[in-house]
Amino acid sequence: MLHSGRAPELLTKRSLVAVSHAIESAALAVAEDGPLVVVALFQRMPYLERERAVYERIAECAAATVVAVVGQRPEALPVGAYGVVLDEAEDLAREWSVVALTPRFGAALVAHDRAEVEPAATLESGRLFDGRWGFRRDEALHEVVRLRDQLADRLPAPARAAVDETLARVRDLPATPGEPRGEAALRVMFSRAERAARARWAAGQGAADRGGASEGGGVPLLDEAGMRRWSGADGVTASGTLPVALIGVRVDEPAGAPERFGRRSVARETQAVIGAVTASLRPVDRAVRLSEQEYLLILPALTEEQAVAVAGQVHEAVGGLAQSYPFVSFAVHAAVTVTTRRPLPVGDVRHAVGWAAQEGVPVARLAPETAEVPAGQW
C-alpha cells in the first residue's frame, strides 16, 4: 500500500481505470525532468492488451517500462519495455498498480483486489479494491523501490540498471513543496466524478445501463444479449480474477396447464415464477431468462455453499406458489457452480440442469474447475 500514512480507500475498477489513465497521461506528457520509470501490474493479459498502444508510447520515452501479468509473459513488447510473469499464488497477483517516477515528478496507484463487487453498469466496472493513489514524488519513489525489490530476480540486468539509475537521481533532489496542493485539487475532481457516477447508477438512468428491465424482482431480468454485455463477454474481461456463482434453474409445470387455465392465467403464473426465482437475489446479482422454463442466476463473490443455499431458497419460493396456484405443481431443478472463467460457462450449467431434471436431482453441483469430473457428477 502507498507509504503515505493514509488508510486505504474502497475503490471500484471504474475509479482505478480513471486514475490509471491519469498517471499514464502524466507519464506521456512532454517534460524535461527525466529519466522516467513506469511500473504497471495488470493482473491478467487482456487488461494489458487493452492498454498496449499506450505502453508502447510510454516505452518510447521512458528509461524503463516494466509490465507484469499473471501466468504468461507479455509478448511483442516494444524496445524499453520489460515483461514480468507473476505467479497466481503471490500477493502481487492480486495487485493493480501503476507507478510513474522521474527526479521531479511521481504518481502512484496501488490497489489490492477484494474479489467483491458493488452494483454497477457491468460486472467488471463494479469490482472492488482496497487502494490508495497520489501524485507525490516521494510516495512514487517508495513504490518503485518496493516493486523493484519484489521483481528484482525477474528483471533483466538492463532494466534493473535503468531503474536504479533513476532512483539515484531522484534521491539527489528534494520533492517539490507544492505537490500537496495539486493533489488536493485532483482529489476534489476525482471524488465529484465518482459521486456523479454512483448517483447515475442509483437513479437507474436507462435500461441500457442496467442491461435490461426488471420483470418481477428487484434486479434486472436479462436476455442473453444483456447478459453478455453485463458480464463483459463483449468487452474487456479476464479469467482468473473475480469468482462468480452460477445457478441454473429449470421450472416445469404439468403438461397441458396453459390449455386448462388460459393465457391470462399463464402470464400471471410466469410473473409469479420469475418473482420466486429472483426473490433471494442481491442488488449486485443478475438473473437471465434463457427460455420459457430456464433461468440463470449470476451471483458475484459467492461461495459454492452460499450458492447452494440460494438454490434451496429458490426451491422453497417456487414451492410456495402452490398456495396461489393450487392446481399447478411446479417441478424445480437446479445446478450450481462457482467459476472464475470468462466468458461464463453458461453452456455447462444448462447441460447440468438438463441432467438434474432427467435424473430427478433437486440441486446438482458441477465439479470444481480444477478437478476431474467424478462419475455421476457434472
301 and 177 fall within a common domain: no
> Is 1 contained in some domain?
no
Regarding whether 287 and 324 lie in a shared domain, the answer is yes
Q: Which domain holds residue 275?
A: 207-365
3-state SS class at 70: strand
In angstroms, the CA 178 to CA 196 distance is 28
Same domain as 297, residue 180: no
Last residue of a domain, one of 202, 224, 241: 202
332 and 229, same domain (yes or no): yes
Of the candidates 291, 305, 302, 282, which has an alpha carbon nearest to the alpha carbon of residue 363?
305
Choose one of 158, 184, 202: the last residue of a domain. Answer: 202
Q: What is the CATH number of the domain that holds 244?
A: 3.30.70.270
Q: Are strands 37-41 and 221-222 parallel, antiparallel or unpaired?
A: unpaired
Same domain, 54 and 190: yes
- How many angstroms from the chain centroid is the CA of residue 39? 22
Claim to verify: residue 212 and residue 133 sit in the same structural domain: no
Describe the crossing of helices 13-28 and 52-61 by its angle, rounded to 10 degrees.
Answer: 30
pLDDT the model gives residue 238: 94
Q: What is the rounded CA–CA span in Å between residue 226 and residue 210?
A: 9
Tell me, what's the pLDDT at 90?
Answer: 95
Number of folded domains that form the chain:
2
Say yes or no: 35 and 181 in one domain: yes
DSSP label at 7?
P
The reply to whether 161 and 229 lie within a common domain is no
The percentage of residues in the chain with a pLDDT greater than 70, rounded to a whole number, is 87
Answer yes or no: do 179 and 285 share one domain.
no
Instruction: Quick: pLDDT tens for 296-353.
Output: 999 999 999 999 999 999 999 999 987 777 666 889 999 999 999 999 999 999 999 9
Within-domain flag for 324: yes
Q: CA-CA distance, 182 to 184, in Å (whole number)?
A: 5
d(CA 375, CA 122): 37
Where among 159, 185, 202 does a domain terminate? 202
Count Cα neighbours of 67 within 13 Å in the Cβ-side half-sphere: 27
Q: Outline where the chain has alpha helix (H).
A: 13-28, 45-50, 52-61, 137-151, 157-171, 179-203, 207-210, 224-231, 257-278, 304-319, 346-359
Q: What per-residue confidence (pLDDT) applies to 268?
A: 82
Collect the ranges in the chain with pLDDT lower than 70.
1-6, 204-218, 254-265, 326-328, 370-378
Q: Is residue 176 located within the same domain as residue 250? A: no
Has residue 230 been placed in a domain? yes
- Considering the domain boundaries, does residue 174 fall inside one? yes
Question: How far is Cα 100 from Cα 34, in angstroms, rounded to an integer?
Answer: 11
Same domain, 224 and 193: no
Strand partners, 289: 295
Q: 94 and 190 share a domain?
A: yes
Distance, CA of 360 to chain centre:
35
- Name the strand (E) or helix (H) holding 295: strand 294-300
